[in-house]
Amino acid sequence: MGSNTPLHGLSEAEARRRLEAGGGNASPVSITKSAGQIVREHVCTLFNLFNVLIAIALALVGAWSNLLFILIIALNTAIGIVQELHAKRLVEQIAVLTAPKARVLRDGEIRELPVEELVLGDVLTLERGVQIPADALVLDGEIETDESLLTGESIPVGKTPGEELLSGSVVVSGACMARVERVGVDNYATRLTQEARAVVPDHSELLTSMGQVTRFTGFLIPPLGLLLFFQAYVLRGTPLSGAVTTTAAGLLGMLPKGLVLLITVSLAVGVAKLAKSRVLVQNLFSLESLAHVDVLCLDKTGTLTQGNMRVERVVQLTKDLPIPLADWMGAFLTHIDDNNATFQAMRAYFPIRDIPQTPTGKISFSSQRKWSAVIFPELGTLVVGAPDRMTGTRLPEELSAEIRRGKRVLMIASTSCPVDPDGPLPEMTALAALVLSDPIRPGAAHTLDYFRREGVRIKVISGDHPAAAAAVAAQAGLEDASWVDMSLVNTEDELLRAAQQYTVFGRVSPEQKRQLVQAFQDQGHRVAMTGDGVNDILAMRKADCSIAMAHGSEAARQAAQVVLLDSDFTVLPNILLEGRRVVNNMTRVAGVFFVKTIYSILLSLFCVLADLPFPLIPIQVTLIDLFIEGYPAFFQSFVPEGRALTGRFLPCVLRRSLPNAMAILLSSAVLLLGGGVLGLPAGQIPLALYLVIGAVEADALLKSCLPLTSLRGFLFLTASVGFFCAVLLFHAVLSLPSLLPGTVPVVLLASAVSILAERLCAFILCHVPRRDRAAEHLGPPIPKA
């Protein structure tokens, strides 16, 4: 693997030089864009290109007063850059806590180093849960790796001394020492880590919708611009400066200039706010993903519980022991490589013992096996694991009752027969059982109740005994704790039925976790998956939003979109609320932005067909941008808004904006064609039309502010009053005449009729079958067992 020119034989200095020149090996995907990328993405946009071209055209004809819009564009862009750079700094500060590190043997001692500092010949110490940071060769020990990033197969691959380890794969059991074989540009780690995160694409409806709008307007602007200019300059004989000015106004109105910026700023503010709460959002649009979630899959251990396992008691099941159980378990724990929370609890209970016998083999714990073993030459093989995996043993009723109360029970058994790590266990002799407990996490009940009230269904997916997982879920406050043993689910149809009928899933394999997430998605749900171990990674990659606990495995953190730095799932409501704030507020304000986009397109076509001049100029469009769109939208975007999301973004926004745009088109047609009939002097028609457009735009702003709060009411009043006062006070700057008394009744009547037309159009649209209604209630209700 790697490039055709391996780095074998390079000195440490040369290896470091290449690392600095070509980028570190196994460095994680940057969770934030570089400052240069942020600046480029805000400056180099299609909308900005159109705005600059329009500004150049206006400058060439000397229409200087109409160039105010370019200053606003520059200010908006600067605000977006500053906000995202601020979010970047905050996120990078906390990202240091989750950045992958490598444990390396240097100068006779184990050191923990950033993975980008690895050099050729370094000796890595690898254990369960670690993502292998560089292509390496096993020197000592045995492990199993998950190479699904490379092969797509999740079956663990055993690795023994002399075999190659591929960067990007994950250790799922065992421990070993391995020598780094490739680094820098010859290493696959960087690309594979990128693929680990790229497996789950960004499910961003906002991003997709704005992309559609950009493509649509970008397709229309060139031909419509040419038509408007040709009609004004050639057909109507308008002077060049006038033709350019009116054409520019039509094109400027088609651009929802501040909306993309507002979405980015709103998301960046949300990410920065969560960073202060020790939540690392690794992608801006992950915030939006969780807002759409209606099924939340939780692990039991370390999520509903605190992850502080402890051995409560030991129940001896036989008196016929070759040596005391404490000695045997002490020797077992001395030689086994596993170090998860369960083994840490056992090590705290059983003192490490040195017995005369040296093991001849060991099998580490894995999520597939659910047991581990150490082989002693005379004592036999000691196996510790799930009771249901111990062939020929039976759990006493008192221990089964402990499981039903939510405790974890592990069986200690022995056998003299050979043990195959890839096959079923032989007949076992039960020696003892361990009863372990893990306290419920404080705040779990409140969090589960919050999600229930918000319509988010909780699914508990655990590798533990289903009765124990259900008991813990019930203790944590889950109302429906109906459970199923997934080890008994063998077919796809059975799994689909289980996904519909049950809430708690026990004895779930890593592959089944992924299949359950897929089953929920097939029902039409948006799924979030929390996890902390390598057995959760497949499901996390499949989920719409993946959430990792910081105390868990490095591989899980690298695969997740969101990392909870305090490993506390009770902060999930905060993430949900931030995501909903962004989407709900953007849906509100986008309707106002799109009103101008739609009526500018329709009015341009009407003017071309009716051989009329476009009735607005750029500075007039800019005033609407400032007062009706930009100012209230900016402040509304920060208002807390935790309502559940209904409908899809773009259809919902178009339904909000289309009635107002049609009303403006109607009033424009009436005033342009029949203004004289209504008693308006010819010079007053542009002013009357502009005031009516402002009134209908203010109506759209009012709709976006409902239900009114003190802040939204203030924004509506100041924006509306400010707009009309600016028109009346600065009409000369806007190239409009002063308002005559006789114009006022016509403006009031036309505004009232236009708003009534808007209401009629909205009523009609409400009775049109909605293709996006499915999004309001995703999938059929899941019945209780």
Catalytic residues: 299
C-alpha 580, offset from chain centre: 12
Exposure b/e, 617-650, CB count within 10 A at least 16 = b: bbbbbbbbbbbbbbbbbbbbbeeebeeebebbbb
Neighbours of 158 (CB within 10 A): 13
d(CA 724, CA 716): 12
Backbone φ, ψ for residue 40 (5° rounding)? -60, -45
68-95 and 35-43 are packed helices; what angle lies between their axes, rounded to 10 degrees?
150
d(CA 627, CA 698): 10
Which of 523, 524, 563, 522 has its CA nearest to residue 540?
A: 563
Which of 150, 154, 100 has its CA nearest to residue 124?
A: 100
| Three-state secondary structure readout of 703-758 | HHCCCCCHHHHHHHHHHHHHHHHHHHHCCCCCCCCCCCCCHHHHHHHHHHHHHHHH
Query: Beta strands 457-461 and 295-298: pairing type?
Result: parallel
Q: How many residues does the chain have?
A: 785
d(CA 189, CA 176): 19
Instruction: List, in order, residues 6 or more apart from 306 with CB less than 8 Å away.
Output: 438, 439, 440, 441
C-alpha 690, offset from chain centre: 42
Residue 522 tokens read as 């097939």
Specify the amino acid at residue 364.
S
- Looking up tokens 């329009």 gives 54
d(CA 548, CA 528): 11
d(CA 727, CA 689): 12
